[in-house]
Amino acid sequence: MDYILKDENAIYYECGFSCDNAIFIAVGGESFFITDARYTTEAKEHVKGAEVVEARDLVAQARRILRRLRVPKIAYDPKEFDCKSLTGLRKGVTTQFHPSPDLSWKRRAIKSPEEIELIRRSAQLNREAFHRFGEYLVQEGEGKSERELRFAAQEFLTRRGLYDLSFEPIVALNGNAAKPHAHPSSLKLSRGDLILFDGGIRYERYCSDRTRTALFGEGFHWGKDQSFSDPLIQRAYDVVRRAQEAAIEGARSGMEAREIDALARDIVERSEFRGRFVHSLGHGVGLDIHEMPFINSRNRQIIEDGMVFTIEPGIYIPGAFGIRIEDMVYMDSGRAELLP
Q: CB neighbours of 190 closer than 8 A, spacing ≥ 6?
A: 142, 143, 216
Q: How confident is the model at residue 142, as a pLDDT?
A: 98
Of the candidates 210, 215, 277, the one whose C-alpha atom is nearest the C-alpha of residue 243 is 277
276 secondary structure, DSSP code? -
Kindly report the pTM of this predicted structure: 0.96
Closest CA to 31 of 47, 20, 7, 45: 47
How many residues comprise the chain? 340
pLDDT digits 0-9 by tens, 132-191: 999 999 999 999 999 999 999 999 999 999 999 999 999 999 999 999 999 999 999 999
How deeply is 106 buried, as exposed, middle or buried, from its count of CB atoms within 10 A (0-12, 13-18, 19+)? middle
Whether residue 297 contacts residue 313, with contact meaning beta carbons closer than 8 Å, is answered with: no
- Give the DSSP per-residue string, 118-174: HHHHHHHHHHHHHHHHHHHIIIIITT-BHHHHHHHHHHHHHTTTTSEESS--EEEEG
> Average pLDDT, whole number, for the chain?
97
Contact indicator for 4, 25 with CB cutoff of 8 Å: yes
Q: Across residues 24-46, what is the average pLDDT?
A: 97
Three-class SS state of 112:
coil
Q: Render pLDDT for 37-79 as a digit per residue (tens, 0 to 9).
A: 999 999 999 999 999 999 999 999 999 999 999 999 999 999 9
pLDDT at residue 126 above 90?
yes
271-285 pLDDT, tens digit per residue, is: 999 999 999 999 999
Backbone angles phi, psi at 37, to 5 degrees: -65, -20
- CA distances to 145, 179, 226, 263, 336 from 245, in Å: 32, 23, 15, 9, 11
Helix 231-250 / helix 257-269 crossing angle, nearest 10 deg: 150
Place 93 in a pLDDT band, splitting at 50, 70 and 90: very high
Residue 322 forms beta bridges with which residues? Answer: 316
In angstroms, how far is the first alpha carbon of the chain from the final one?
35
The whole-angstrom distance between residue 265's C-alpha and the CA centroid of its chain comes to 21
Pairwise CA distance, residues 91 & 22, whole Å: 19
User: Looking at the predicted structure, is the pLDDT value of residue 340 above 90?
Assistant: no
Q: Domains of the chain by range and CATH?
A: 3-108 (3.40.350.10), 113-339 (3.90.230.10)
pLDDT in tens, 195-240: 999 999 999 999 999 999 999 999 999 999 999 999 999 999 999 9
Question: What does the radius of gyration of the chain's CA atoms come to, in whole angstroms?
Answer: 23
**89-107 average pLDDT score:** 96
